[in-house]
Amino acid sequence: MNSFNWLAVYPEIILLTMACVVALVDLWVTDPERRPTYWLTQLTLVVVGAMHLAYFNAGETQHAMQGMVVSDPMGHLLAFFACIATLVTLVYARPYAAERDLLKGELFTLSLFSLLGICVMLQASNFLVIYLGLELMSLSLYALVALRRDHVISTEAAMKYFVLGALASGFLLYGLSMMYGATGSLSIPEVLQVVTSGAPNKSVLVFGVVFIVAGLAFKLGAAPFHMWVPDVYQGARPPSRC
C-alpha cells in the first residue's frame, strides 16, 4: 500500500466527483422543480453515507495522503450522520426554496461541497487539512447565504459573513503559524507528542492556541465571537413574503 492510500478516502472522492456531476447535469435540466438534480443529489448522499457506514463497521484505522488524513471509525460515524443531516435538510429545504424562487442547481451543488468540507475536517490528521476542510465548508455557506442575488438583505448578510469569515481565517492561519514555530509540526499526533514532552516554547504555543480557538469560535459563532450571527441569519432566511 502506497503512502497516499486512495482507498481510505474513496467516500470523499466520490462525493467530490458527484458534486461536479450534479453541477454539470443541472445545466441541461429544464424541470422548474429540479427533480433530476434533486434525486441525483439524494442518491449521492445515500451512497456516500452507506460507504461511511461500511467503513465504520469494518472498524479499521488507516492513514492516507502521507499521514495527513486518518480514516477511523469515529470519523466515519460522524460523516455518516453528516450525510443523513444533509439529506434531511434538503428534503425540507426543497419545498421552502421552491416557494421563494430559490430552487436552483446551486443549492444542491453547494450543499454537497459543504458536506465535503465537513468530511475532510472529520478525516483530518493535520491542522492544514482541517483548515482546507473548514474553508471549503465556509465558502459554500457564503454562496448559499447569497443564493438570492436580487435580495439586498441576503447580499448584505453574505458580505458580512464573508468579511468576518476572512478575518477568522486570518486568526486561524496566524495561530497555526505560531503553533508550527513552537512545535515544528502541524501534524496533530506530532504536536501532541511535543506538547506532552514539555519541549515547546510555551508562550508562543499559548498565543497560537488562543488565535486558533478565536478563529474557530468565529467560524462556529460561539460566544463571545457570535456578534455576526444575528445579521447573517436574518439575511440567510428569506422573508416569508416574496
> Which tens digit of pLDDT belongs to each residue from 32-47?
888 889 999 999 999 9
Q: What's the mean pLDDT when you consider all of the chain?
A: 85
Q: What percent of the chain has pLDDT over 70?
A: 96
DSSP 142-207: HHHHT-STT-HHHHHHHHHHHHHHHHHHHHHHHHHHHHHHHHS--BHHHHHHHHHHT-S-HHHHHH
Q: Which of 21-30, 81-90, 226-235 has the lowest mean pLDDT?
A: 226-235
**Per-residue pLDDT averaged across 65-82, rounded?**
89
- Which residue type, as a one-letter code, is found at position 187? S
Assess whether pLDDT exceeds 70 at residue 134.
Answer: yes
> Would you state the pLDDT for residue 42?
93
Query: What average pLDDT score do residues 161-173 get?
Result: 88
- Angstrom distance (rounded) from CA 62 to CA 50: 18
Please report the pLDDT score of residue 94 as a whole number. Answer: 85
Q: Which residue has the cell 433530476?
A: 36
pLDDT in tens, 170-227: 889 999 998 888 888 888 888 888 888 876 677 888 888 889 988 888 888 887 778 7
Q: At residue 61, does pLDDT exceed 90? A: no
126 beta partners: 187
- pLDDT digit string, tens, across residues 74-112: 999 999 999 999 999 999 888 888 877 778 888 899 999
